[in-house]
């Protein structure tokens, strides 16, 4: 049986991380975001603060552009990281199922 360190190394391979990153960008669709109300509110807040940041760059903002930009980056990071974590977790579970299935298939007695 593979130990936990070996499983972790396999989970953190480049293919899984790239796949999870691309899927996290695909999940920016509002129809997907609305399924999680908390993240949907953060998503809408990200959009609104991006608009406010652009407005402050033009010179019509009520707060300094650097401040609005920092809040905007923080909100977008939150949305993207939550999507990435969800997709990475799905890939991790799928990998563990494959490992367990192989282990069970190897250890089952032949009839």
The pLDDT value given to residue 76: 94
pLDDT for residue 20 is more than 60: yes
pLDDT for residue 92 is more than 60: yes
pLDDT for residue 6 is more than 60: yes
Whole-prediction pTM: 0.69
Share of the chain above pLDDT 90, in %: 32
C-alpha span between 85 and 100 (Å, rounded): 22
Cβ neighbors of 69 (< 8 A, separation 6 or more) are 53
- Give the number of domains in the chain: 1
Average pLDDT over residues 10-23: 74
User: Which residue intervals of 13-109 are DSSP H helices?
Assistant: 14-26, 30-33, 37-58, 65-107
Query: What is the domain range of residue 47?
Result: 4-107
């Amino acid at each position: 049986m593979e130990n936990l360190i070996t499983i972790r190394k396999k989970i953190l391979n480049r293919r899984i991380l790239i796949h999870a990153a691309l899927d996290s960008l695909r999940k920016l669709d509002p129809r997907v975001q609305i399924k999680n109300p908390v993240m949907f509110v953060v998503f809408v807040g990200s959009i609104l603060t991006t608009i406010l940041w652009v407005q402050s760059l033009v010179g019509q903002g009520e707060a300094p552009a650097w401040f609005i930009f920092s809040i905007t980056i923080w909100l977008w990071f939150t949305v993207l990281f939550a999507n990435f974590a969800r997709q990475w977790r799905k890939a991790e579970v799928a990998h563990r199922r494959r490992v367990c299935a192989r282990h069970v298939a190897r250890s089952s007695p032949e009839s």
